[in-house]
Structure 1
Amino acid sequence: MDIPEYTRLKNNRDFGLVFRRGQYYPGRHVVLHANRSGAAQLRLGVAVSRKVRGAVLRNRLKRRLREAFRRLDVLLPNGYDLILTAKATAAKAPFDELQNEIKGLLARSKLLVHGR
């Protein structure tokens, strides 16, 4: 199951806004950028470094990040725009490690809601 189209950040303007105004949380394989949007829902953008060689590998990594995020989606509040940027090391990282890192970054950003 993929993230629905309407919850994705797609255009450059939205990405630029999150990069300029949002908070930055670096991890070993993934960097999280978070910005309060005030929108009715949570939106996610995924970017992969061009250092990950090959479009097929970059697209596969994007799918893995979206799936890891989807599994945590119910634990997150609405009204934020998030961008997950994968570093080159993420291409070789196991899925569980990526998911745990994303969960840790969300906890550091204080966006993870534990009571749900």
Structure 2
Amino acid sequence: MRRKSRDISLSGENAFKLAFAGNKVVTSDLVFYYRQNGTDAGRVGLVVGRKAFAGAVTRNRLKRRLRELFRRHAGAMSGFDLVVVARRGRPEPKFEILERQFKKLAGTLEGR
């Protein structure tokens, strides 16, 4: 059964602060902050700012791609709260590049 978007969404200022206080993985296009959440479920919060991607269409497309990648790699990310920050000054990355960056994160999390 596919989990609903609200079930995998990280919400609330406190949840984001806790994730930002955790560990970090930096890639060319994204910065991942993660922290164990003490449950079997993984949750994700996305930060795609207007200064990084000016057009709403571009921002929303990037967020859809990031949510889909989280779903695809949910097994490796279960038990973690994850915040994904899109880096400024970069063009919109292709899906394949984002997937490579998520695989790098998944490898890091599986070692924990």
Q: Please name the residue that 2:63 is paired with.
A: 62
Per-residue deviation at 1:90?
5.5
**What stretches of structure 1 move > 4 A for 4+ residues in a row?**
none
- 2:94 is aligned with 1:94: yes
Q: Do the aligned residues in 1 keep the contact of 2:73 with 2:106 (CA within 8 Å)?
A: no
Which runs of 5 or more residues in structure 2 are unaligned? none
Counterpart of 1:112, as a letter, is: E
**Mapped partners of 1:67, 1:9: distance in 2:** 15
The one-letter code of the counterpart of 1:47 is V
Distance in structure 2 (CA, Å) of the matches to 1:30 and 1:10: 20
Q: For each residue in 1:21-77, what CA deviation from the matched residue of structure 2 results, as whole angstroms up to 9, or x when unmatched?
A: x10110001111110110231111111133211222211111111112211113x15
Task: Output the aligned Cα RMSD.
Answer: 2.1
C-alpha contact (below 8 Å) 1:2/1:67 kept by paired residues? no
Number of aligned pairs? 108
Match of 1:36 in 2: 36
Alpha-carbon distance between aligned partners in 1 of 2:37 and 2:103, rounded to the nearest angstrom: 21
Q: Given the two structures, how large is their TM-score scaled by the length of structure 1? A: 0.80
**5+ long unaligned stretches in structure 1:** none
